Chain A
Amino acid sequence: MTAAFLIAAAVAVLTTALALTRSNAVHALLYLVVSLLAVAVVFFLYGAPLAAALEIIVYAGAIIVLFVFVVIMLNLGPEATEQERRWLQPDIWVGPSLLAAVLLVELAVLLTDGSAAAAGVVGPAGTRAVEARAVGIRLFGPYLLAVELASFLLLAGLVGAWHLGRRPWQGSPAREEEGEAP
């Protein structure tokens, strides 16, 4: 169990790091899929099978597919990859890395605070995993309002994406600029 977690965690961290440093968008997305699958394994290990399933279906499935569609639509060629490589100069890493390191250290300090809750072990032996049923009861019980709000959010996202993603009107200022696009 511990070994499974460590392997999954190592895979997740490694593939995430790789995904974020790729020049080629499709490669990055493939690494991201692996990372998400690894995180799904971690979910499963922590006794959240519903979350693990949704992670695979929604993240690794739907969202990644959406990214792939956009990559196809943008039709970025090798020169885009080349440009990515030019943008990723070592010196631009310095500042953000420092910031990230500070943040990580702070999080580590907070997590290893020594409080009993943080040090505790998940699920003493024999405790059942939190099943989908329990989540469903909770969602459509006390969190019904949150579910409705989430549905509103998705609707708004749908409308917004449709509005932003459509082609500009004939005669709008954006029309002339479109001709310049490669």
Chain B
Amino acid sequence: MDSSQFLAIENTLFTAVMVLYLVSMVLYFVFFAMKNEKAAQLAGWVITAAFVLHTAALVVRGVGARRLPMTNQYEFATSFAWGICLCFLVFVRKYHFRALGTFVTPVIFLLIGYAAMQSREVRELMPALRSNWLGIHVSTAIVSYGAFGVSFAVSLMFLLKQGRENHDFWKKNIPDYDRLDIISYRAVSLGFLFLTFVIITGAIWAERAWGSYWSWDPKETWSLITWIIYALYLHLRLNKGWRGRRAAWFAVIGFVCVLFTYIGVNTFIPGIHSYA
């Protein structure tokens, strides 16, 4: 098979994945709006299937392009959505918390939609991008952003729970504040650890490619800003008065920064990273 055949398969898989994410999102909404447990169960199956096909799509593209599929806006957007889905599935399994899907699937769907709007052409890499560090850098970014995506969804639930504490549905399906706070914290810690890894591997790669490990390039600066926001979250949580609502706001702002670092910086600010 030649490269174009692989890409044709990837195209089909990608479309299927998009449809499945949409279906799971609708099912999660049905679960939430109509309190329909069956819908949640089905949504769980659909999103798991979507994840499997998504993984296959990424592998097929990687084989077709003969490199890691993580080097342009399209590839990174779809990998980013994949990362959120991965973290979502892990967290759902660990914390038995299906309602999270209602808040996570829209984020995944938005990213997949964004990916669909980007060019899917496979372009050869410029020499600076041909580095093993790039692979490590981007894969860690996917996990990090995925975890932040989950913490964003959990924190939104935290914020929306107020005033609904006594609704039966919320009581039954949404963990109490303490647990929401812990889940969000666990997601942020995973994301923060990996973001630190992203920044360090990025610095090593920049040092090798450009001779300078930190040059205040807008993308670097924004990843630092994101990192600082989450460091603030971690410290604010240590303070009893700030734990909970305020920390949740920081997790939400942090994820907005993540999105800006990834999409906004490329769109609005020129820099060495503008090709990625």
Decide whether A and B assemble into one complex.
no
